[in-house]
Structure 1
Amino acid sequence: MDPALQTMISNMPEKTGKSLEEWKALLKTRAFAKHSEAVNFLKKDHGVTHGFANTIVHLSKEENSSSDDLLTNQYKGKEHLLPVFEKVKAFVSDLGQDVNIVPKKTTVSFVRKKQFALISPATKTRLDLGLKLPGYPTTNRLENSGPFGTMCTHRVRLEQPEDIDKELKDWLRDAYSHAG
C-alpha cells in the first residue's frame, strides 16, 4: 500500500473520530446512488473533511482492491507509461509530508488539505495531469481542464518522463501551495 495512503488511514481515528473499518460499516447501513452522495453524507452529517470522506468512500467501494491493484488495472496495456506516472508521483511526494496520494479506479489524486492534482492514463500513449491552478491562463501546454471538468482548472498531456521538466514542476509546486 502507498505509504501516504497508509498514513491517512492510520490518522483517520484521530482526525475523524472513527477508524476506516468503522466508517465502512456506517456506509454499509445506507444506499448511495453516486459516489458524491456518500462523500457529502460523511461531510455534512459527520463533519469529515473532503479528503478523508473521498478516501473512505473509495476504499469502501474497492475493499478488495489494493492501491497496487488499482494502478495495475489503470495501466493494463499501458505499462510503458508507468515511468511517467512514477516520476510525477516521486516529485509530488517530495513536496511535503502532508501530501496524500490516493489511487482510485481511473485516476490517482494528489491531496494536501484539498486535491491539487490528479493523473490518469488518457490514451494508450498519453497521461493527462490535471492541476488546480486558479487564475492561471491557458497556454499551448497548460490547457483547459478538459475531461477533468471542475476537479481541476488545467490539464497537461504527458507522454514520456522527460515531460516532467522545470516548468511542470513549478506548476505542481504552485498547485500544492494553493491547496494548503
Structure 2
Amino acid sequence: MDPAVQTMIDNLEKNTGKSLDQWVTIVQQEDFKKHGEIVKFLKADHGFTHGFANLVAHKSLKSDAGSASDTDELIAKQYKGKEHFLPIFQKLKSEIAAFGKDVEFVPKNAYVSVKRKKQFAMLVPATKSRYEVGINLKGQEPSGILELDTKSSGMISHRVVINHEEQYSKELVDWLKKAYEAAG
C-alpha cells in the first residue's frame, strides 16, 4: 500500500475514533451510489476534512487505485478509446525509468503517478485528442513547451500537452529529468 494512504488510514482512526472499515460500513448503510454524495455526507454529518472524506468515499466504492487488483487493468481503462496514445505512454515510461532505479509508476484510475521520494510527474490520457504530462517543478518559470498548470489543485506545477506522437520531444524528457532530480 502507498505509504501516504496508510498514514491517512492510521490518522483517520486517531482523529475519529473509528477505523476505515467502520467508516466504510457506515457509508454502505446509507446506500450512497456516488462519490460526491459520500463526501458531502461525511463532511456535513461527521465533520470530516475533504481528504478523509475522499479516502472513505473511494474505499467505500472501491474506486481508488489501491482497491484495484490489477494495475494493468487500470491502464487499459485509462486508454480505452485513446489507444493511439499508448505508444507515447510506453515511450515516456521507458525514458523515465532510465532516470534511476528509484522511479515508481503508480497507476490510478485516470492517470499514472510517477514518483521518486515524492510525485514528480503524471502521465494523463486526458481526452481522445490531448495527452498531458504533468510535471512538478515548483518555482520554475514556464518556458518552451512547459506551461503552468492551473487545473490539478497543486498535484503538479506545470504541464506539457501532446496532441500527437510527433510532439514528443527531447525537451519534454529534459523537463521530466529535471523534475526527477528535484524530487530526490
Matched, 1:28 2:32: no
2:92 corresponds to which residue? 88
Alignment of 1:131-146 (within 5 A): 131-139=135-143, 141-146=145-150
Are the equivalent residues in 1 in contact too, given 2:65–2:109 (CA < 8 A)?
Answer: no
2:158 corresponds to which residue? 154
Are the equivalent residues in 2 in contact too, given 1:117–1:129 (CA < 8 A)?
Answer: yes
SS in 2 for 1:148: coil
Query: TM-score with structure 1 length normalisation?
Result: 0.68
SS in 2 for 1:150: coil
1:67 corresponds to which residue? 71
Alignment of 1:80-119 (within 5 A): 80-119=84-123
Are the equivalent residues in 1 in contact too, given 2:123–2:132 (CA < 8 A)?
Answer: yes
Are the equivalent residues in 1 in contact too, given 2:78–2:110 (CA < 8 A)?
Answer: yes
CA-to-partner distance for each residue in 1:39-93, whole Å, 9 max, x for gaps?
A: 989xxxxxxxxxxxxxxx944433x4x1111111111111011101111111111
Q: Find the aligned partners of 1:153 and 1:121 in 2 and give their Cα distance.
A: 18
SS in 2 for 1:69: helix
1:127 corresponds to which residue? 131
Matched, 1:179 2:172: no
Are the equivalent residues in 1 in contact too, given 2:65–2:71 (CA < 8 A)?
Answer: no
Q: Find the aligned partners of 1:38 and 1:102 in 2 and give their Cα distance.
A: 22
Letter in 1 for 2:52: E
Structure exhibiting the larger radius of gyration computed from Cα positions: 2
Matched, 1:37 2:52: yes
Calculate the aligned-residue CA RMSD, in Å: 2.9
CA-to-partner distance for each residue in 1:130-175, whole Å, 9 max, x for gaps?
A: 0001221123521111322300110100133343322111100110
1:79 corresponds to which residue? 83
SS in 2 for 1:151: coil
Query: TM-score with structure 2 length normalisation?
Result: 0.66
Q: Find the aligned partners of 2:55 and 2:128 in 1 and give their Cα distance.
A: 34
Q: Find the aligned partners of 2:134 and 2:146 in 1 and give their Cα distance.
A: 10
SS in 2 for 1:155: strand
Total equivalences in the alignment:
143
Unaligned runs of 5+ in 1: 1-8, 17-25, 42-56
Larger relative contact order (C-alpha < 8 A, sep ≥ 6)?
Answer: 1
2:42 corresponds to which residue? none
Name the % identity.
39
